[in-house]
Chains A and B, each alone.
Chain A
């Protein structure tokens, strides 16, 4: 883990409100794993507004070229300031941070379920899964067509992509979790990924879910996994202060410890952002 001012090698708009940034950061790139993130400073000078850094997941890492890529959506003050940083200038980041996704044993198939800005970490994950010869399929959802980001990244990797949009402008009209559940019932081609309810036991045994997106979506996807007996990992989001494990700001309630003990709250930045889906107490 390092804190560094890294040169911005590339900074492009990739969709409405979405940007991709590439940082030259050889030492951080060496050990980075899928599911990890960087904590990036959006403005450095007084009046320090925004004051805090922003956590953004790694969408791709090139250890040989020594680069880190992120994809982010302009949400507010921080990401708006970030979008102003020109190529060639330097960005101050800390990373890589957080606990990565755990790889499944050989022979399993990975189902990647991503919503909105939860999609990027799944791209890096898909790349590393394929290196380990683990097959992956992506189910991507967003509010509208333009926000279904990173489809090309998955295609380049040869990962089949299924899309759902809330407004029906692209792919399945509805939630990506319904789309994923649907695929087991109506689409024979993808049946082996999710299985029907009847054959859940035999087929689901081969699957692993990786889920990242808005809370409602993650909760639904985690419930789907539980119903089908499929192990699932979720990558959670919370407002972060330090991202170093010190401020205790980004905690989530998990049920790995008896309620009332001090370990009830775990830090998204340190024990997470990836948690076993069954540990999370969804609110």
Chain B
């Protein structure tokens, strides 16, 4: 049998394991001007909130060595405009799975978003952006607290038959606690990681480089952190579908994520750097597998070779 790239991610069948990440690919149309985006495994939309959001003051982005910090403030068109203006294009794409990333200030907003998207055609799954401050709990991120994470997912689960992907924040001491809570609450898959909380300073002016002071770090600089977290979650949850992301630039980077336990990958910041990277990763993955006579990406999943004596390590203890 020839090498093929199809993967199964919980209930989702993907033509290949390469998706594009929320916030880095707009609503799909933008990059379709450069290449045929129907070849992607999946498209995750920019986070959608119930109401349009105007976002943060500028500067919103700052480049760091091999990375970038962003504090966009979830500027998006809002649910109604998304359904009316952005879904028609996404729905017209036959190849990729369409994942709508949703975000809210309170649990009821996630639930309402899920409920209102339930009748919208052409959506394959919801990705829950849990890296958002919860205004009912003093601004603590949903995704840093296992109880809140579980509660959001449980309540959204009751309102949707669609696949739920919980997108985990890396800004936690033990990501496996959150991952387990999400899986047990009914998430069909986990995606990790979102951006790492970061700060850049201008030593000449004594000012932060980003208007909101802190922002989220992404790009190749975060890849080692992301790989570590994917590996930890894979060890803790051997059966849960995982989408790995954080700093992927090339097919070999994607292979590293699969080896650490990801079943699929998302490409984020690289879209800005090399828009055709998703196609290159798809092609590169195929030849990587073919050269090794491997039939499918699943042959790589979790195959990281770890010394025998380190295999049964206790999980990281939380502080």
- A-side interface residues toward B, CB under 8 Å? 1-3, 41, 46-53, 92, 94, 238-239, 241-252, 260-265
Contacts and interface: CB of A to CB of B under 8 A. Distances in A.
Interface string B54-71: 110011111101111010
B58 A238 contact: yes
B52 A51 contact: no
Contact of A3 (B55, B219, B276): B276
Contacts of B35: 3
Contacts of B30: 242, 244-246
Given A2-B34, A239-B61, A262-B77, A92 B274 contact: yes
Contacts of B72: 247-249
Nearest to A238: B58
B23 interface: yes
A248 B55 contact: yes
B68 A51 contact: yes
A252 B75 CA distance: 13
Contacts of A2: 34
Q: Which 3 A-B pairs have the closest CB atoms?
A: A262-B52, A249-B61, A246-B26
A38 to B, nearest CB: 13
Contacts of A251: 55, 58, 60, 75
Interface string B78-109: 10000000000000000000000000000000
B275 interface: yes
A51 B223 CA distance: 14
Nearest to B271: A242
B191 interface: no
B172 to A, nearest CB: 25
Nearest to A268: B58
Contacts of B31: 244, 246
A262 B79 CA distance: 12
A48 B223 CA distance: 13
A160 B297 CA distance: 64
Contacts of A46: 66, 220, 249
A77 to B, nearest CB: 8
A241 B65 contact: no
B206 interface: no
A264 B249 CA distance: 33
Q: Is the interface of B mostly helix, strand, loop or mixed?
A: loop
B274 A41 contact: yes
20 contacts: A3-B34, A3-B275, A41-B273, A48-B66, A50-B63, A51-B67, A52-B68, A53-B272, A94-B275, A239-B61, A241-B70, A244-B275, A247-B24, A248-B75, A249-B60, A251-B55, A251-B58, A252-B58, A261-B54, A265-B55
A259 to B, nearest CB: 9
A48 B219 contact: yes
A238 B77 CA distance: 21
Q: Which of B53, B65, B272 has the largest count of A CB atoms less than 10 A from its CB? A: B272
A260 B63 contact: no
B33 interface: yes
A29 B68 CA distance: 31
Contacts of A52: 63, 68, 272-273
A52 B271 CA distance: 10
B62 A239 contact: yes
Interface in B244-288: 249, 269, 271-276
Contact of A245 (B23, B26, B55, B274): B26
Nearest to B249: A48
Contacts of A250: 61
Interface string B211-247: 0000000011000000000000000000000000000
Contacts of A243: 272
B78 A51 contact: no
A275 B68 CA distance: 27
Contacts of A249: 60-61, 70, 72
B68 to A, nearest CB: 6
B34 A242 contact: no
Contacts of B271: 242, 246
B78 A262 contact: yes
B62 A241 contact: no
B24 to A, nearest CB: 6
A37 B195 CA distance: 29
A153 B46 CA distance: 43
A241 B54 contact: no
Contacts of B274: 41, 92
Q: Which of A1, A46, A242 has the largest count of B CB atoms less than 10 A from its CB? A: A242
B52 A247 contact: no
B9 to A, nearest CB: 24
Contacts of B273: 41, 48, 51-53
A53 B271 CA distance: 11
Given A3-B275, A48-B249, A241 B61 contact: yes
A246 B30 CA distance: 7
Q: Which of A46, A51, A239, A245 has the largest count of B CB atoms less than 10 A from its CB? A: A51
A250 B75 CA distance: 12
B25 interface: yes
A238 B59 CA distance: 8
A243 B274 CA distance: 12
Contacts of B70: 241, 247, 249
Contacts of B75: 248, 251, 262, 265
Contacts of A245: 26, 30
